Chain A
C-alpha cells in the first residue's frame, strides 16, 4: 500500500530478495488469468516465481503450469484450510515458506507473485507477506462494486477492473466504475483490462515492472539500508 500510507513497512528486511506481489480479488474475477498474463509479459525480462492459494484444488496452479507461461517447478500451491484470507493476512507462515522455498531453489528472483484464493472485498495481504498488492475485480459483479469499497478495493496499490468486454452485456458503466474507484482510492491507480480480448495485460505488466524496478533500486544493494515503503508508480489509466 506503499506510497500513500504513513505506517511503517514492517516486513522483514528486503535486501537482495525478490519483490513479493500479492494478487487478490473475488472468485472468477481473473486473478489467475492476470498472473498468467504477467508471467507471459514479464517472463523474458525478469526471474519469476508464483505461489497459488487454491481454495479447493490445485486448479490455479495446474492452469498456470499447463499454460506454459513459467517453468512448472516455479509454481507452488499452498492449501488454506477453508480460509484463504487467513493465509494471506492473519497467518502467512505457509505462504512465506513457499515464497522463500522458490527463492532458495531458483533464486535470485526478481518477482514472486502470490495469488490469493478468491475471497471477499475485505481481503488484503499482510505487509509481512506482500510488498505490493493488486486487487482484481470484474465488471460482471456490477458497476457498484468500486463504490462499495472495502479494504481490497480502497487500499490495494493497484486496482484492476477486468472483463471490460462484458460491460455492455451486463449493463455495467465503466465511467461510473472509474469515477467511484477514483473517489474511494484517493488517487491510487486503477487499470481497466480485458485480458481475454487483449490476450494479455500490458498496462498491468508495465505497472509491475515499475514497482520491481523501484524495489531493486531500493533493496538491490547490500549496503543500502534504506528501509522505507516501496515506491509505487502512479499511472492513472482509465482508458
Chain B
C-alpha cells in the first residue's frame, strides 16, 4: 500500500473530525510557538551580550586605583591617583602574558566646532588603547609618537561626536584637519574612530573623543604637573591563549613592588578582568535561553500527550473500521502506518502553524519590549522536527494498539 494513499486516508480522517483535530493541534501549535518565541527572545539577548563582548575586545583587563588609607581616612576608589604611566610601561615590559598596557587619563568636556558643540567623554590615550579595545579608524590616522610624548594638539573623534559636530552627511575625510576646541584648546582632527556601539552597561562608547595622554594631562586636565605622570586607569590586553589569572597575578606582584606595599597592606589598585565578567554574562544569557526553551518544551510535551489521548479515542471509535480494513486485506503494518501518519500529520501541521505563530509572537514581544529578537533557521527546523517526532512518539502506542487487534474482535466491536 503506497504512502500517498495512506496520507489521503489520514487527511480524510482528520477532516472528518475537524474540530477535534484542530483542538488537538492547538496543543502542538502553542508548544511549538512557545519554543520558537522563547528561543527567539533568548537568542536575541545572547547575541547582544556576545556583541558587547566583541566590542570590549578579547582578553581585556582594566586597572584602577583603589582606596588609599591615609591615617585612617579612606579615600574611596580612584580618590587618589596611584597609577602612573610608568606603571603601564613596566607592566607591558615585565609581565610576559601582557601584550599591551595602555595608560588612560579620562575626563570630559565641551567639544566645539564652528557654531556646534557637544559634551563628550575625553580619553587621554596612546595608540595602545586602540589595540587593546580592537578599535579601528573609519578615517584618518593614529597618533604620531611625537604627539603622544609631546602633548600634540590633535584629536580623534568618536562616531557620535563626529556626527553631532559635523552633521550626518559630512564624509569622514572632510572632518580631517578641521580644528575643534576642547577646553579652549584648539585641536586638529586627525582621525575618526569606527562605530563601537553600546558598552555592557548601556553607554554609548562612540560618544567619546581621544587625545594623546600627555595632551590630556598637561593641556586639558592639568591636575598634576610634574614627573609622576599620574593616570586614571590602565587598559591591558593579554596575549591570546595566555592565562588571564597568571597575568593578573604577575601584574599584582609587579605593582605591589613598584608601589612599595608591605605584606599585609591592601593593594592600592584594583584589577578587573572585564572579559571574564562579560563571559559570565554570556554564559548566564545562554543558560537563560536554555531555561526558556526547556519551559516551552513542557507545553510541547503536553501537546504530545493530547495527541496520544485523541488517537486512543480515535482507535477505539474506529475499531469496526479497523476490523473491516483487516477483513479486506490490511496487514498490521498498514493499520499501524495509517494511524501513525495520522498522528504525524496532525503534529506536523500543528508544528507548521506553531512556527508561524511563534515568529509572529517573538516579533511582537521584541517590538513592544524593545528587545532584540533572533529567529534562527536551526531553531525553526528543530522545533518542526521535534513536533513531527512527538507525533511519531505519541502516535505509536495508539497505532500499535490498533494494528494488534484481531480482525474478528475488531469487526464485532460495538
Physical interaction between A and B: no
